[in-house]
């Protein structure tokens, strides 16, 4: 029988504990294999969106026998509607730095980078002060690990891990072919762990409280808590830490304004869920509680009945069209065709059945685009057009 879940709030990430020095030195005293096993048993999955098991990522990098490895904290946070990583770096930066250093200890990396979103330049001076204090402590305890900030330049595609590394190496921010994956061949061609800011903050909780504490939260396949950036038509916009596995109806009961007609889960590259599907949709990575389980990097946008879903889709497509790096044809041309196509249908220059051709085009993009940007345009496009078709036509 599926377990019933109500919304459960938590407070691990933003709990401001001044014990990072203690956690760091205590963890560095442990055997690195023991630490990896602890992380694997927590079943933490990456919070940047894709949900790759974090313990496995660190293990793969630790196994590479080369002299130089890297740890990168992905703080590009470009997904529309996501604003949680900024808060972590503002409120509990030591947790992230400590987690990076522990990752360095486990994997054998001595150098870390924080790839900071261009629009977060205002965070740089304070973050640098914290990094300096951290470096001083590492030196004091004789631990060889340094952290540098690398400023992004405002391109959404540079949040994609390989485009991010290309840009760090001084090239255009364009995704690489995968494989090889960064755990094998990442920054400067060397094995690299790249993790989202929030993922790193969760590893701090795990090393502090033990894997079991984390594992016991959430549901099967989706363990632990997650930060959600809640925005749109809600009386309570903000950032909330909640256990994974919640149903969307519980979420809307808590955050909706009583008139929620749809929720966009996972930002522009995620899915729109209409009201009739709230009950059967849960938030998580894989395990199905009652029906559909949707992953998210944390963006939850609520729309009430005053919103035009055509305008929402128009906005997302304009974003994708602008942010496509243009490297591959399905995405470069596809984003333009989709955007022009929905406008033509809305203005009556194309018949409503043209939407079906556009849906076919998104399928092609899903299978042929080189990276997650082009592949995920289909998510919002099909879920909006299929559920709100009447709002798309003239
Ligand atoms: C277009 C695109 C943009 C992305 N932007 C981000 C981002 O801003 N921050 C992030 O952590 N991951 C982003 N990702 C996911 C990263 O490629 C990568 O999966 C992630 O940093 C891995 O960290 P995690 O395992 O901790 O989630 C993006 C992916 C794509 C395809
Ligand atoms: S899918 Fe889009 S963003 Fe990704 S490589 Fe191709 S053109 Fe660039």
Residue 375 alpha carbon, nearest atom of ligand 2: 1
CA of 37 to the centre of ligand 1 (A): 24
Sorted by where each begins, the domain ranges of the chain are 20-215, 219-304, 309-392
Closest ligand (CA of 76):
1
Domain 219-304 belongs to what topology?
Ubiquitin-like (UB roll) (3.10.20)
- Which ligand is nearest the CA of 45, by number? 1
Task: Please state the atom number of ligand 1 nearest to the C-alpha of residue 163.
Answer: 17
Whole-angstrom distance, CA of residue 24 vs CA of residue 204: 9
- Pocket lined around ligand 1, Cβ cut-off 6 Å: 46-50, 52, 74, 76-79, 156-157, 159-161, 194-196, 199, 371-373
Statement: residue 287 has pLDDT above 60: no
Q: Which CATH superfamily is domain 20-215 in?
A: NADH-ubiquinone oxidoreductase 51kDa subunit (3.40.50.11540)
Separation CA 271–CA 274 (nearest Å): 10
pLDDT at 285: 86
Decide: 365 and 377 in contact? Cβ < 8 Å.
yes
d(CA 156, ligand 1 centre) in Å = 10
Query: What is the Å distance from ligand 1's center to 338 Cα?
Result: 24
pLDDT of residue 290: 46
Q: Is 246 a residue whose pLDDT tops 80?
A: yes
| Separation CA 98–CA 27 (nearest Å) | 10
CATH of region 309-392: 1.20.1440.230
Share of the chain above pLDDT 70, in %: 97
Q: Look at residue 34 in the predicted model and tell me its pLDDT.
A: 96
How far is residue 88 CA from its own chain's centroid? Answer: 14
Q: How many CB atoms lie within 10 A of CB 70?
A: 24
pLDDT in tens, 188-236: 999 999 999 999 999 999 999 999 999 999 998 999 999 999 999 999 9
Query: Ligand 1 centre and the CA of 160: distance in Å?
Result: 5
Q: Is the pTM of this model over 0.85?
A: yes
The mean pLDDT of 97-105, rounded to a whole number, is 98
Distance 49 CA to ligand 1 centre (A): 6
280: CA distance to ligand 2 center in Å?
Answer: 32
Name the closest-CA residue to atom 1, ligand 2: 374
Residues in the chain: 394
Instruction: Evaluate the omega torsion of the peptide bond into residue 115 and state whether it is cis, within 30 degrees of 0.
Output: no
């Amino acid at each position: 029988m599926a377990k019933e879940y109500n919304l459960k709030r938590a407070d691990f990430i933003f709990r401001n504990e001044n014990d990072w020095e203690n956690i760091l030195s205590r963890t560095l005293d442990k055997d690195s294999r023991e630490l990896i096993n602890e992380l694997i048993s927590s079943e933490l999955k990456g919070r940047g969106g894709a949900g790759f098991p974090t313990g496995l990522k660190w293990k793969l990098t630790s196994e590479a026998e080369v002299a130089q490895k890297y740890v990168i904290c992905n703080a590009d946070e470009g997904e529309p509607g996501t604003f949680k990583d900024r808060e972590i770096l503002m409120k509990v930066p030591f947790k992230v730095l400590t987690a990076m250093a522990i990752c360095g200890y486990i994997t054998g990396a001595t150098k870390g980078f924080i790839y900071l979103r261009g629009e977060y330049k205002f965070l740089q001076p304070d973050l640098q002060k914290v990094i300096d204090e951290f470096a001083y402590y590492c030196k004091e305890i004789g631990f060889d690990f340094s952290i540098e900030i690398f400023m992004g330049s405002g391109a959404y595609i540079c949040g994609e891990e390989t485009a991010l590394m290309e840009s760090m190496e001084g090239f255009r921010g364009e995704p690489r072919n995968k494989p090889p994956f960064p755990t094998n061949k990442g920054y400067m061609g060397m094995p690299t762990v790249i993790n989202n800011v929030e993922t790193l903050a969760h590893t701090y909780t795990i090393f502090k409280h033990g894997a079991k504490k984390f594992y016991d939260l959430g549901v099967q396949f989706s363990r632990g808590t997650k930060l959600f950036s809640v925005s749109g038509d809600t009386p309570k916009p903000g950032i909330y830490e909640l256990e994974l596995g919640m149903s969307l109806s519980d979420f809307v009961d808590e955050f909706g304004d009583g008139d929620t007609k749809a929720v966009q889960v996972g930002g522009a590259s995620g899915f729109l869920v209409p009201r009739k599907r709230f009950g059967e949709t849960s938030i998580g990575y894989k395990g199905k509680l009652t029906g559909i389980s949707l992953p998210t990097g944390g963006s939850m946008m609520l729309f009430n009945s005053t919103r035009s879903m055509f305008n929402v889709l128009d906005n997302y497509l304009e974003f994708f069209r602008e942010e496509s790096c243009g490297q591959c044809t399905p995405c470069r041309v596809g984003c333009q065709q989709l955007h022009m196509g929905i406008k033509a249908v809305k203005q009556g220059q194309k018949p409503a059945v043209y939407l079906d051709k556009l849906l076919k085009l998104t399928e092609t993009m899903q299978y042929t685009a080189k990276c997650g940007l082009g592949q995920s345009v289909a998510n919002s496009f099909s879920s909006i057009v299929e559920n709100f078709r009447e709002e798309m036509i003239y």
